Structure 1
């Protein structure tokens, strides 16, 4: 009896101890609600396939994107069936397919008619998803005609409805169209935002038809930012996605290849530009739209310009301008006028070039394309100068100067967004690691429940074994949490450092301003200088010696900043070859004198590289005598003033410091 009593006591104590230790894990909280995702994604295709002719109609819809003639025959046969009018979904998809067919056949006006019929039918049947689809199609048609305001109105309403009913498939399409309009309006950061929203939805819709289009349009942003390597990389990625889906229309590949040709045109690579154009030409078919024909003809004109066949280039531009329907496509017509003007200037036909440039600007204004308008102003200034008309040359140079400044600001805003996206991507990966750890903890909880059941059966040995097991698992969890915490610390450090130079980046600047707002007692009586520094003609170094040498120059310059500027100063790589520093006045030397010191050591000492010694200079715009309160409250305005002085330094000879207006 004593033995039984002792064993019973050990068993009770063991079980109680085990239950006490496992309590904090919530293994016995059976009444806890289980969180589930109840969001239902709307898909009209899933409704259609449940109908007798649903699959056949979906196949025709897919076919309508790349074979207009065959799709037209099949849908007319299907529409003749008596049962085709039995359900409104049939009529809705009929209008959608006919819209695609008309676009494929290049009949834009007829496509617009079917899109309007689709909208009327949606309102008649009170189908919100169909109304959103119709508005999206009408917006695309309006965008091609250059009517961006109307297109934007349609898209905003389409986006609102799609969000309301959780129509993710249409939202992806809408975000792509909104991004394209933002590109045409030269708002690149907003375009990036829309494209990234679309890509986030594509993570759960990987087979969406617009996957390739969105990646290709991201390449367009990098073309405008003159980030050629990134543009080519995105084009290659888009082409790869396109090749994985046989349902996509050839027009996507046509645009990708002409964009690729235009990148090589800007780089002066004649062979690659000609190769990409030739591949784009092969994608054109007899029923290709005027828009696609214009895009390919303009690409050919650019290639001929590189080959110095200026007369032939003008002939191709004239072919583009003579296309039936080109008058309704201001973007394409403006580009063809621009290409023609460049060839006329190469031949010395400056009066003709001026006429072409004015025509191009007239079309650019219709779509509010700042980058194109600014480029044309520069060409006009050059043409008038060649004709000896100095007053008009100066007039258009001033317009170019103001426009170029606006475009540079847009580019910098886009670079900032790219940095933020990079940080967000790191944060997302960190969140994924945390979620994985939580899942492992949940797995442990399930194992613990099984373990408790066994313990209650009364096996003392199993109780002790289970205790050891749980303790080990708890230690594993603690180790994983410590690793995760260490990873978070490293992530914060990495996110505020520039990977190439080791200097701080823009995110650290934001943290610095925040820390001042929280406690500025250390700098209460301090004055600062804020300066923006930009290496002169840095693009030539990359073009002449390659990006590896360019990177070596940036690293060397960063080291000089760190050696010459005081340790209390804040030195940031702002983007590309541009840097920002915040320097505190010292008792023995002013911050402006310190800035002159670093300027002198950069211009006087060449950079030793594998390509030999390279002389470099730097232009600096600065704002002096900045109090800590001004720095906290008006840092954005101060940076803008310094940027304006940098711009002045650049355009008045470079290699200088400008600290006053």
Structure 2
């Protein structure tokens, strides 16, 4: 009965006679910091303890609100509707909310609960909206612990979304709050780990290492395995693409710490990281043992996403030990778990890895299908990113348009005023002295010239804006908008006539991961320059998206297209790209075709033609990359028949229903080890 009575008491409205001025004691804050580390280990037990603590504190007091602030974090993790509703009612009915400061504190506490729930359920946009409460917040008199929690969450969100300037501002604000007089050592450690992770994501490695070392120094004498786990995970992530030995030591230390905590979600995550180490080193048996344990834990916790990733890794390892059929079953089971759950996040990378494993197993046709699946999900992500970018840019464009319209209006008014002044002056001059017609004419001529100069400037500005809107800002190549306008001039009766090439830089994600995104940009710019140098002035070269380029030439000769495919491979891969002190090896996979297709003169609409060369490009990837695959001949009498063959291009090739040309690029250059 005691727990029941306690629960009912906790749900009653707070007394309006609460001593609002009573600040939380240092002992209470220290206790809350200690309990914060136990949330993941024993969430329900921690929540029960916090509920008992709150019941013993004066109703409506700041101390009680501090306790409920930590309860908000726990309740979000427990995710039980009854506990959440109890907490929400207490906060909604908090006394003294007519005081703006008190009302803000209550709203921030509610925001913590909602933000945690959104984060745990993967609702990124909702989380961003909730955390926008910090954008125009008056922090005067607000509990530092509460603010620290919110800023740390905001830093993590902006880091995940790639908004590093905003992420760093939030992380530094959390660091300032963690260094306050009432903050605990563990909070100082976590604030620095957060900052280190944000710096690492933003490619600021030296600052990341400095923050990481500060965190490790603060935690040097702390024996808490949970704290040690997060330190090791952070360090391993930072050095993942810089020093695999450090990453492997950290992932093993994190796994040891996770086992010490007994927390199955931490153990599962640590197993996945350690399995990745074994997969990278091609130690398949070690990966199989770890992923098998990870699957067992994920099934016990009913964690669909952890199980799907573990099954994928298990399948890849099995395929490389010769157990191809069983491995494929595991991978496909992993994909089914994710798609049944309605998520597509990360599937592009998983299908790409699956394609490589199928390729290594000699299953080229299946590898092509896996690469096409990767393409499908990557396109979906591209469309989502594009839609988001368009929505975010729309307001800026509208503001710019309104600004330019206002500027044009001002110019127009200035011209009219100028004309009016000229007319008035002319009239006066005629009245005063008829002999000054020449002077009046001169003034009118000056006004006319000014109008003409302004009109020419406006025309030039409009032309410049049009060019800018049809160019990729990084590479200077034409973009999709320009392509769609230009391709209509090359189509005859809605059918494409000419040769079309689709080029994809090999392992571009690996380049970004190993050398940094700035190096990736350098590669894109240099590849664009090499493509332009290899082509004629009237050839159309487009940055198609990400690391893809599209080329359309007027020639319909398949032999010429074949020679051009070889020339493009050599232009891209003949020399590495230099970025700062790094020499980055670059190759590409190319698919191409000349339309109409021999021997029946079949052509396609440009969109269908791109889909067809897309398949050819993925065949080049499936057969080892750094290759160009071109369609030379097809046993098809119409467009539908040609598209049907294209859907099963690998099989049609082996059956003699299509003829392909294949070219290999130059031998791959590797950067010497230092």
TM-score range, shorter chain: 0.5 to 0.7
What's the offset of the Cα at 1:596? 2.5
What's the offset of the Cα at 1:619? 0.9
2:157 to 217, 236, 243: 217
The answer for the alignment partner of 1:323 in structure 2 is: 261
- Structure 2: runs of 5 or more not aligned: 1-14, 35-49, 98-102, 333-350, 356-369, 415-445, 632-648, 650-674
Give the 3-state SS of the residue equivalent to 2:504 in structure 1: strand
What's the offset of the Cα at 1:205? 6.0
Tell me, yes or no, if the aligned pair for 1:298 and 1:335 is still in contact at 8 Å.
no
Please give the alpha-carbon distance, in whole angstroms, between the structure 1 residues aligned to 2:21 and 2:616. 62
What's the offset of the Cα at 1:336? 1.4
Please give the alpha-carbon distance, in whole angstroms, between the structure 2 residues aligned to 1:542 and 1:629. 38
* 1:582 matches 2:569: no
What's the offset of the Cα at 1:117? 1.0
Tell me: CA distance 1:65–1:380, structure 2 relative to 1, closer, same or farther (3 Å).
farther
What's the offset of the Cα at 1:503? 0.5
Tell me, yes or no, if the aligned pair for 1:531 and 1:622 is still in contact at 8 Å.
yes
Please give the alpha-carbon distance, in whole angstroms, between the structure 1 residues aligned to 2:558 and 2:277. 56
Tell me: CA distance 1:299–1:434, structure 2 relative to 1, closer, same or farther (3 Å).
same
The answer for the alignment partner of 2:288 in structure 1 is: 354
1:257 to 173, 176, 193: 193
Please give the alpha-carbon distance, in whole angstroms, between the structure 1 residues aligned to 2:518 and 2:462. 31
The answer for the alignment partner of 1:175 in structure 2 is: 125
1:649 to 613, 617, 620: 620
1:335 to 269, 279, 282: 269
What's the offset of the Cα at 1:496? 2.7
Tell me: CA distance 1:236–1:641, structure 2 relative to 1, closer, same or farther (3 Å).
farther
What's the offset of the Cα at 1:584? 4.2
Using CA pairs below 8 Å that are at least 6 residues apart, which structure has the higher relative contact order?
1
Higher helix share: 1
Tell me: CA distance 1:621–1:368, structure 2 relative to 1, closer, same or farther (3 Å).
farther
1:571 to 531, 541, 555: 541
Aligned residues: 505
Question: Matches of residues 49-448 of structure 1 in structure 2 within 5 Å?
Answer: 56=20, 68=32, 79-80=58-59, 98-102=67-71, 108-109=77-78, 114-119=83-88, 140=115, 142=117, 148=121, 175-177=125-127, 195=128, 213-214=153-154, 216-222=156-162, 235-243=167-175, 254=190, 257=193, 260-261=196-197, 275-280=210-215, 295-299=230-234, 306-307=244-245, 313-323=251-261, 326-327=263-264, 330=265, 332-342=266-276, 351=285, 353-360=287-294, 363=298, 369=305, 373=308, 376=310, 379-381=313-315, 383-384=317-318, 389-393=323-327, 400-401=354-355, 402=370, 408-409=378-379, 412-413=382-383, 416=386, 420=390, 424=394, 427=397, 430-431=400-401, 433-434=403-404, 437=407
Tell me, yes or no, if the aligned pair for 1:215 and 1:234 is still in contact at 8 Å.
yes
The answer for the alignment partner of 1:185 in structure 2 is: none
The answer for the alignment partner of 1:533 in structure 2 is: 503
The answer for the alignment partner of 1:494 in structure 2 is: 468
Please give the alpha-carbon distance, in whole angstroms, between the structure 2 residues aligned to 1:496 and 1:252. 49
Cα root mean square deviation, aligned: 6.5
Tell me, yes or no, if the aligned pair for 1:96 and 1:115 is still in contact at 8 Å.
no
Please give the alpha-carbon distance, in whole angstroms, between the structure 2 residues aligned to 1:391 and 1:277. 44
Please give the alpha-carbon distance, in whole angstroms, between the structure 2 residues aligned to 1:64 and 1:631. 71
Tell me, yes or no, if the aligned pair for 2:233 and 2:250 is still in contact at 8 Å.
no
The answer for the alignment partner of 2:41 in structure 1 is: none
Tell me: CA distance 1:491–1:237, structure 2 relative to 1, closer, same or farther (3 Å).
farther
Please give the per-residue CA displacement for 1:144-175, whole angstroms capped at 9, x wherever unaligned: 7x6x3xx86xxxxxxxxxxxxxxxxxxxxx83
What's the offset of the Cα at 1:293? 6.9
Give the 3-state SS of the residue equivalent to 1:581 in structure 2: strand
Tell me: CA distance 1:68–1:321, structure 2 relative to 1, closer, same or farther (3 Å).
same
Give the 3-state SS of the residue equivalent to 1:621 in structure 2: strand
Tell me, yes or no, if the aligned pair for 1:301 and 1:314 is still in contact at 8 Å.
no
Give the 3-state SS of the residue equivalent to 1:619 in structure 2: strand
Please give the alpha-carbon distance, in whole angstroms, between the structure 2 residues aligned to 1:351 and 1:604. 36
What's the offset of the Cα at 1:349? 7.9
Tell me: CA distance 1:629–1:605, structure 2 relative to 1, closer, same or farther (3 Å).
closer
Please give the alpha-carbon distance, in whole angstroms, between the structure 2 residues aligned to 1:288 and 1:487. 65
Please give the alpha-carbon distance, in whole angstroms, between the structure 2 residues aligned to 1:624 and 1:94. 75
Please give the alpha-carbon distance, in whole angstroms, between the structure 2 residues aligned to 1:242 and 1:481. 53
Please give the alpha-carbon distance, in whole angstroms, between the structure 1 residues aligned to 2:518 and 2:594. 35
- Structure 1: runs of 5 or more not aligned: 1-50, 85-89, 153-173, 178-194, 223-229, 445-471
Please give the per-residue CA displacement for 1:152-211, whole angstroms capped at 9, x wherever unaligned: 6xxxxxxxxxxxxxxxxxxxxx8352xxxxxxxxxxxxxxxxx5x779887666979656
Tell me, yes or no, if the aligned pair for 1:426 and 1:491 is still in contact at 8 Å.
no
What's the offset of the Cα at 1:430? 1.9
What's the offset of the Cα at 1:579? 0.9
Answer with 565-574 or 548-557: which moved more: 548-557
Tell me, yes or no, if the aligned pair for 2:118 and 2:126 is still in contact at 8 Å.
no
The answer for the alignment partner of 1:602 in structure 2 is: 571
Please give the per-residue CA displacement for 1:613-648, whole angstroms capped at 9, x wherever unaligned: 98754311346548999647xx3x654554443233
Tell me, yes or no, if the aligned pair for 1:64 and 1:100 is still in contact at 8 Å.
no
Give the 3-state SS of the residue equivalent to 2:261 in structure 1: coil
Tell me: CA distance 1:535–1:433, structure 2 relative to 1, closer, same or farther (3 Å).
same
Please give the alpha-carbon distance, in whole angstroms, between the structure 1 residues aligned to 2:197 and 2:66. 32
What's the offset of the Cα at 1:382? 5.7
What's the offset of the Cα at 1:251? 6.5
